[in-house]
Structure 1
Amino acid sequence: MHISLTLVLIAVTVLVSWRAFTDQRLLGRLILWPPAVQRNRQYDRLLTYGFVHADWMHLAFNMITLWSFGSAVEQVFSAWITPLGFVLFYLSAIVVSILPTFLKHQRDANYRSLGASGGVAAVLFAAILFDPWTKLIIFPIPLPIPAFLFAILYVGYSVWMDQRGGDNVNHSAHLWGAAYGVLFTVLLQPAILSHFTRSLLG
C-alpha cells in the first residue's frame, strides 16, 4: 500500500502547528529567531520554523496548496529520486528559502519568521514546470487562471511587496522557495525546460 508522503508532511505540519497555537513555549523554540541560531547554535530552527504557523488561516492556505500540488510533484520526483528524495526536496526548500532572510536579520533580536510558504512555493513552481496550463483558483479571485500566469503575478507581487515591506509576510522566502523549486527541478531533469516550453506554446 502506497503512503502519500505529501499527506504525511501535511499531517505533521498541522499537528505541530496546532500544538504551537496553544503552547507558546513550543512556538518560541521552533520559530525562526535569528539570535538563537547565531548565539545558541540552534540551527534546527532553519527547518522547524516551517512547521509552525501564525494562525489557522495561514496554516490552511499553505497546506491546501501543498495538498493540491504536492501529490503530482511527489509522483514525478519519486520516480526520479525516490520518495525520500521528494521529502528531502521539500525540507531543503524550507531551509534554502529562509537563508537570505536569516543572513539579513541574523543580529536582529526583534525579527521572527514562521510558516511553510518557502517549501510550498518550491513544490508549486515545480508543478508549474510540469503543466503550465493547469488552472489555479487563488483567493479572493473567483476565476481559475493558468499556472504560468499565476507564476508571473506571484513573482511580481512578491518582489514588489518584499521591497515595500510592512505587512509581516516574508515575501523573500516565497521568492527564494519558488526559485529553488525551479532550479532543483531543472538540474534534476534538464529536459523539463523543453517540456515546459512545448506545453506552454502547444
Structure 2
Amino acid sequence: MFNNIPPVTRNIIIINVLMFILTSFMMPQLYNTLSGFYPFSPNFKSWQIITHMFMHGGLMHILFNMLTLWSFGPILEQSLGEKKYLILYFASGLGAFFLFNLWNFYEVQQLTNELTNANVNVAEIFMKSDLKKFGFDPTPYLNNKQALNLYADLITPMVGASGAIFGVVAAFATLYPDAKIAMMFIPIPMKVKYLMPVVIVVSIFLGVSGNVGGIAHLAHVGGALVGWILARIWRKHLYRFN
C-alpha cells in the first residue's frame, strides 16, 4: 500500500518519520538545533526555516500530520505534477513560518516596550534565553509575567509539518471544493469549501486570542493562505498539468 503513494508524498512522509526517530530516540540534542525558533532569538539558525517542517513534538503530532498528508497529498501530486506539488508544500511551510513569526514579532515588541518602561533589563532576558549556553531556567522571571512571556517566546520553537500540510489541504479545497470530508471534531461529511473557512476562522481566533494550547494556529493560517493562492493561480491550467 505504501508503494502506491506517489513519490514526493511518500518521500516527505519517510523523511518526517526518520527525523522523528532520530531526534526523539537517537540524537535528541538535535531537536533544538533543527526546530524553528523566533528569528531574533539567540537559538535561531537560518536552516531552521526549512528543518522545522520535519520536526514534531510527539507521536500523536506526527501521526496526525502524516495521516492528513497521506489523505490529501497524493491527489494533489497527481493533479499538479511533482514539481508544482513540491513548490506548494515548501512554500506553504515557509508561509506558515513567516505569519507565525510576524505575530511573534508583534508580541515580542509589545512585551519589550512594557518591560523597558518598567526598567527591566530586556537585553539580559535575550541573552539568558540562549539554551545552548544557559539551558532552560525560567526561575529569574517567575515573579514577572511579561518577562516570563518574553523568555517563553524566545525559547519555544515552532515545529511540525502542519503549516505545509494546511497549504496542501487548502489547495485541495480550492481545486476540489465540492469534495466531502469528515474530521475528528466534525464527524459528519461536509463539502470542503464550507469546512475549510470554518477551520481557518477558528485558527485565526485561537492564534490571536492567545488560546493556543501549544498549537501554532497562525502557522496553519499562513500555510493555508499560501496553498490557496497557489491553487488559485494554477487551477486554470489544471488539465494542462494532467
The two structures share one fold, judged by TM-score above 0.5: yes
Within 5 Å, which residues of 2 pair with 1:181-196? Answer: 181-190=227-236
Which residue in 2 is equivalent to 1:140?
185
The 8 Å contact of residues 94 and 116 in structure 1, kept in 2 or not, is answered as yes
Q: Which residue of 1 aligns with 2:166?
A: 121
Q: CA deviation at 1:104?
A: 4.0
* 3-state SS, counterpart of residue 154 of structure 2: coil
Q: Which residue of structure 2 aligns with residue 50 of structure 1?
A: 53
Q: What's the offset of the Cα at 1:70? A: 0.5
Quote the residue 1:31 is aligned against: 35
1:41 and 1:34 map into 2 onto residues whose CA distance is 6
Contact 2:164 2:223 in 1 (8 A): yes
The alpha carbon displacement at 1:29 in A equals 1.1
Q: Separation in 2 of the partners of 1:96 and 1:16?
A: 22
Q: Give the number of the structure whose alpha-carbon radius of gyration is greater.
A: 2
- Of 63, 67, 92, the residue aligned with 2:66 is 63
Whether the aligned pair in 2 keeps the contact of 1:105 and 1:111 (CA below 8 Å) is no
Aligned residue number for residue 155 of structure 2: 110
Q: Give the RMSD, CA atoms, in angstroms.
A: 2.3
When structure 1 is superposed on structure 2, of 162-171 and 118-127 the one drifting more is 162-171
- Tell me the number of residue pairs that the alignment of Structure 1 and Structure 2 aligns: 187
Q: Which amino acid aligns with 1:29?
A: T
TM-score, structure 1 length as denominator? 0.82
Q: Structure 2 counterpart of 1:93, which letter? A: S
Out of 143-152 and 107-116, give the one that drifted further: 107-116
AA partner of residue 132 (structure 1)? P
> Is 1:179 matched up with 2:225?
yes
Answer yes or no: is the 8 Å Cα contact 1:96–1:177 preserved in 2: yes
Residue by residue over 1:23-62, the C-alpha shift from the partner in whole angstroms, topping out at 9 and shown as x without a partner, is: 3211111101225x76587211011111011111111111
- State, as a whole percentage, how many aligned pairs show the same letter: 25
Q: Does the 8 A contact of 2:34 with 2:51 survive in 1? A: yes
- Tell me, yes or no, if the aligned pair for 1:159 and 1:171 is still in contact at 8 Å: yes
Find the aligned partners of 1:104 and 1:165 in 2 and give their Cα distance. Answer: 11
For 2:204, the equivalent position in structure 1 comes to 159
Under a length normalisation based on structure 2, what TM-score does the superposition of the two structures give?
Answer: 0.70
CA shift, 1:19, in A, is 1.9
